[in-house]
Chain A
Amino acid sequence: MKKDLTKIRNIGISAHIDSGKTTLTERILYYTQRIHAIHEVRGKDGVGAKMDSMELERERGITIQSAATYCFWKGHEINIIDTPGHVDFTIEVERALRVLDGAVLILCSVGGVQSQSITVNRQMTRYKVPRIAFINKCDRTGANPDRVIQQIRDKLGLNAVALQIPIGLESNLQGVVDLIIMKAVYFEGDNGDIIREAEIPADMVDQANAKREELIDAVSMFSDELMEAALEGTPTEEMIRDAVRLGTLSLQFAPVLMGSAYKNKGIQLLLDAVNEFLPAPRDIENVALDLGNNETEVILKSDPDAPFISLAFKLEDGRYGQLTYLRIYQGKLEKGDTIVNSRTGKKVKVGRLVRMHSDEMEEIEETVAGSIVALFGIDCASGDTFTSSDVSYSMSSMHVPAPVISLAIIPKDNKAQINMSKALNRFTKEDPTFKTFVDEETNETIVSGMGELHLEVYIERMKREYSAEVEIGPPQVAYRETITRQADFNYTHRKQSGGSGQYGRVGGFIEPLETGEYEFVDKIVGGSIPREFISSCDKGFRASLKKGSIAGFPVTGVRLTINDGASHAVDSSDIAFQLAAIGAFKEGFAKAGPVLMEPIMKVAVEGPTEFQGPVMGSLNQRRGIIIGTFEEGDYTVVEAEVPLSDMFGYSTVLRSLTQGKAEFTMEFASYKIVPKHVSDEIVKEAQKKHKK
């Protein structure tokens, strides 16, 4: 089987939540005869859309995981990754984009360019993904494709020009005028299967001519041939198509199509456009890092005969076992081949090779560069590179954002405990932004992720898929204790209650340490503390660090110097000096102006400029110091330093404050002293907890 690589398209479909991505994908599958009936996302038949295979997705009507599928349209193989629209799931979007060659950006004809479109567009720019825009929902009241095109230009900075104009709008939407062939196109039949081309309605001819002129103007810069032809007034369809394709591939042009997925209008033309204008795997330059040669960049060739290179971009633990999605960049893969995980160096044999269609699959024998396939039973993490054994390349790593929120989860019973750890194990493998660890102090399991919804969905999935019921604790902040000035200590530990006694005296001082957590300085002269007990003092101090005396949080940033002491020939022991050191620490710490420290986060809120005022207000309310603002077109970044404890629930606040149009990232900046009135509260809380 020799595949024509120019006829493969790996595309993503992404957009703002509720723009109708899943509906559109559903229609594509229907027209390409992958499915034989159309189910609505929130349909009355209760089947749900094909691509939303997870029960939770069907129930909530949102797509959580990007499912991969493929279809054939006019001799081209199109691999489609359906991507989630919600801000909290951007990692899924980013991962999908990494392996795509082109994308369809769906915009709602009423809502226009919304925040997620901006985010996704930025991500696409980062991964240099050529894109087509599709203005969906032209049947809805208030539809205005022209305004949306203007927004694409202004807000997304894309050179967007329509290839079509709608015939009728809102409930009157009948079809579109194709500006390249200059024909009206109607979609007839119950499901819009029948395409009828006709003359452009008389009242639209002038408009169509003007728009065609605009289109030719815009794309002629990509083709000298078209430019000349346009001057002479004889551009052909072919020339325009070539110019549109060249412009799209060079990321300097974004063709705009329109229609309504729900009303079955314009989808076939969108598929044509995918074939015509989006790149084949060969049109895109992919680079890998050569691990054998100092990580120099190597350009990959989409050649089936070159060494095999692929990227595992997604793991799924379905009912068939662990499934690994691979994008093949170079070479070919056959059943029975041995491939190497370049991160671990482990060799694996390819047992079963399948093509996924949401959660159903098809077994295949072999596959070539440019395709997306799934493998069974391979142990790896997402983002791993697999190669044939003769090369040692690694695909550049994907950008993984750090988790921003964490919660404690407590299983309700023993069974839930076991299931919970199973679930956590799987989720963390699937999703690099979801992390979990056990807090040593409280013994609670902590999960952290990209936002409240993100964690909520996993907790919900734990319940549904693993029947692990958990209780959610309030979000917690890791406070610390430290000192502000030097203080002396001189403590004698003495115990005389039958048997051998304990005796030790430790003298010295405690002082703030600018960098580092703890330092121990031994300045004992003349053996006032015998050599063998010096390390006991160190041990005692270290033990004291675990719990400070303000509110029981760990102590950091202290230097302890011992310069005096006393011992007893019989009663001094390791334990006696440890206890003396603990006592000395307590004494010194209390005198050294102890304070509570809290983690301060560097917070960057990105959103449309119009929301800058409220965003700054909200940060200010949260004890934040705003460092500055950074304007980028219609987008503004506000940077601030805010205590972590005041950032909980911020994603929700921000979302409602900005209509979901702003996003924030935060990372740890430093520990700073908690203001008095806040620290009093924390101490009170801690005391309450201890009493319990």
Chain B
Amino acid sequence: MNKKELIKNSPLRVLNPDLNGGGVSQRMGLVMARAGLGKTAILVQIAIDSLLRGNRVLHVSIGQSFEKTKIWYDDVFSHFVTTYALENAALIQQDILRNRFVMTFKESGFNRAKLEERLNDLIYQNIFRPNYLVVDGLDFTKAGREELQNMRELMEAMDMHIWFSAVSHSDDAYACPEGVSSPCNEVLELFDTVIMLRPEQSDACMALDIVKDTTGSIESNKSLHLDTATLMLKK
């Protein structure tokens, strides 16, 4: 399979059906799950998919080491290569490397102001200008509504896509009408698209519920699953 076919056949087309990267120009997305189910894996797949489509992705990793983040990318990419028998993998990977930028922050050290300062460093010197932002590991219980509102403004100002991951607490599930537990239920309206991982006992895969989507790009009858062995998305 070549790159084009991979993009076309990728399960991620469910979330972003437009092949040419057009369609939705901005989106603030959220991947929710309990701890340890595979949020990072999903984010990295979203990131790699958008890299393949020619975007420049800034991956912000909070509380996780730089090395670990890189290993995630290498792992997910090699799964792509084997699952889809991707041609020219080495060259594509080099392209990915060139268009990906990883920033890691300590848990206490992340906020919009800091991120913006770093971004401006990159943009003014013409080093890197991302149009896709992936934020992994932001603690929603601490970040609060204001910070997310700030991030949304940043997204609008810079014309980007942003995907977040958040840990949902299992104990008080269904605390709001959409079935979203704290701490995400309070900030739900800030997001355009929200997907949630729900473990299924019967199968070797987990279902991804599309809790919310206001972009109108997701067809309502489509659904996604996550293979529990490889943590790869499936249609």
A→B interface (CB under 8 Å)? 514, 612-613, 616-617, 620, 625-633, 637, 639, 641
In the complex, the chain A residue whose C-beta lies closest to that of B125 is: A617
Assess whether A627 is in contact with B102, with CB atoms less than 8 Å apart: yes
Given A616-B122, A632-B106, CB of A626 within 8 Å of CB of B66: no
Assess whether B101 is in contact with A631, with CB atoms less than 8 Å apart: no
Question: Can you spell out 21 A-B residue pairs with CB atoms less than 8 angstroms apart?
Answer: A612-B118, A613-B124, A620-B126, A626-B101, A626-B127, A626-B128, A627-B97, A627-B100, A627-B102, A628-B59, A628-B69, A628-B101, A628-B102, A629-B103, A629-B118, A630-B103, A630-B104, A631-B105, A632-B106, A633-B106, A639-B66
The answer to whether B22 has its CB under 8 Å from any CB of chain A is no
User: CA separation between A345 and B33, bound complex, in Å?
Assistant: 58
User: CA separation between A277 and B191, bound complex, in Å?
Assistant: 56
Of A626, A627, A629, most B-chain CB atoms within 10 Å = A629
Q: Least Cβ distance of A612 to chain B in Å?
A: 6
Assess whether A613 is in contact with B125, with CB atoms less than 8 Å apart: yes
Assess whether A628 is in contact with B97, with CB atoms less than 8 Å apart: no
Q: Least Cβ distance of B116 to chain A in Å?
A: 13
**Across the interface, which residues of B come within 8 angstroms of A626, CB to CB?**
101, 127-128
The answer to whether B121 has its CB under 8 Å from any CB of chain A is yes
**Across the interface, which residues of B come within 8 angstroms of A620, CB to CB?**
125-127
In the complex, the chain A residue whose C-beta lies closest to that of B127 is: A620
Given A613-B125, A617-B127, A620-B127, CB of A628 within 8 Å of CB of B66: yes
**Across the interface, which residues of A come within 8 angstroms of B128, CB to CB?**
626
**Across the interface, which residues of B come within 8 angstroms of A629, CB to CB?**
102-104, 118
**Across the interface, which residues of B come within 8 angstroms of A616, CB to CB?**
121-122, 125, 127
The answer to whether B98 has its CB under 8 Å from any CB of chain A is yes
User: CA separation between A632 and B102, bound complex, in Å?
Assistant: 14
User: CA separation between A628 and B69, bound complex, in Å?
Assistant: 10
User: CA separation between A628 and B97, bound complex, in Å?
Assistant: 10
In the complex, the chain A residue whose C-beta lies closest to that of B69 is: A628
Given A625-B97, A631-B109, CB of A612 within 8 Å of CB of B66: no
> Known pairs A626-B128, A633-B109. 8 more at Cβ < 8 A?
A514-B90, A616-B125, A627-B97, A627-B101, A627-B102, A628-B70, A628-B101, A630-B103
User: CA separation between A533 and B122, bound complex, in Å?
Assistant: 60
User: CA separation between A641 and B105, bound complex, in Å?
Assistant: 21
In the complex, the chain A residue whose C-beta lies closest to that of B58 is: A628
User: CA separation between A639 and B104, bound complex, in Å?
Assistant: 11
Per-residue interface assignment for chain B, residues 114 to 153, with 1 indicating a CB less than 8 Å from any chain A CB and 0 otherwise? 0000100110111110000000000000000000000000
User: CA separation between A625 and B121, bound complex, in Å?
Assistant: 15
Q: Least Cβ distance of B96 to chain A in Å?
A: 11
**Across the interface, which residues of A come within 8 angstroms of B100, CB to CB?**
627
Assess whether A631 is in contact with B125, with CB atoms less than 8 Å apart: no
In the complex, the chain A residue whose C-beta lies closest to that of B122 is: A616
**Across the interface, which residues of A come within 8 angstroms of B118, CB to CB?**
612, 629
**Across the interface, which residues of A come within 8 angstroms of B125, CB to CB?**
613, 616-617, 620
User: CA separation between A616 and B119, bound complex, in Å?
Assistant: 12
User: CA separation between A14 and B152, bound complex, in Å?
Assistant: 48
User: CA separation between A631 and B109, bound complex, in Å?
Assistant: 8
In the complex, the chain B residue whose C-beta lies closest to that of A618 is: B125
User: CA separation between A639 and B97, bound complex, in Å?
Assistant: 12
**Across the interface, which residues of A come within 8 angstroms of B104, CB to CB?**
628-631
**Across the interface, which residues of B come within 8 angstroms of A625, CB to CB?**
97-98
In the complex, the chain B residue whose C-beta lies closest to that of A631 is: B105
User: CA separation between A223 and B118, bound complex, in Å?
Assistant: 44
User: CA separation between A633 and B121, bound complex, in Å?
Assistant: 18
Assess whether B106 is in contact with A628, with CB atoms less than 8 Å apart: no
In the complex, the chain B residue whose C-beta lies closest to that of A615 is: B121
User: CA separation between A641 and B97, bound complex, in Å?
Assistant: 10
**Across the interface, which residues of A come within 8 angstroms of B69, CB to CB?**
628
Sort A-B residue pairs by CB-CB distance and give the 7 closest, nearest first: A628-B102, A613-B121, A630-B66, A617-B125, A630-B104, A620-B127, A629-B103
Contact of A628 among B103, B121, B124, B126 (CB under 8 A): B103
Q: Least Cβ distance of B94 to chain A in Å?
A: 8
**Across the interface, which residues of B come within 8 angstroms of A627, CB to CB?**
70, 97, 100-102
- Beta-carbon contacts under 8 Å, B155-190 to A: none
Given A617-B127, A620-B127, A639-B66, CB of A612 within 8 Å of CB of B102: no
- Beta-carbon contacts under 8 Å, B58-104 to A: 59, 65-66, 69-70, 90, 97-98, 100-104
User: CA separation between A633 and B128, bound complex, in Å?
Assistant: 23
**Across the interface, which residues of A come within 8 angstroms of B126, CB to CB?**
620
In the complex, the chain B residue whose C-beta lies closest to that of A634 is: B109
Q: Least Cβ distance of A479 to chain B in Å?
A: 19
Assess whether B106 is in contact with A631, with CB atoms less than 8 Å apart: yes
User: CA separation between A630 and B126, bound complex, in Å?
Assistant: 20
In the complex, the chain B residue whose C-beta lies closest to that of A628 is: B102
Assess whether B127 is in contact with A612, with CB atoms less than 8 Å apart: no
Q: Least Cβ distance of B150 to chain A in Å?
A: 19
User: CA separation between A637 and B97, bound complex, in Å?
Assistant: 18
User: CA separation between A620 and B129, bound complex, in Å?
Assistant: 13
User: CA separation between A613 and B69, bound complex, in Å?
Assistant: 22
Per-residue interface assignment for chain B, residues 43 to 61, with 1 indicating a CB less than 8 Å from any chain A CB and 0 otherwise? 0000000000000000100
Of A620, A630, A632, most B-chain CB atoms within 10 Å = A630
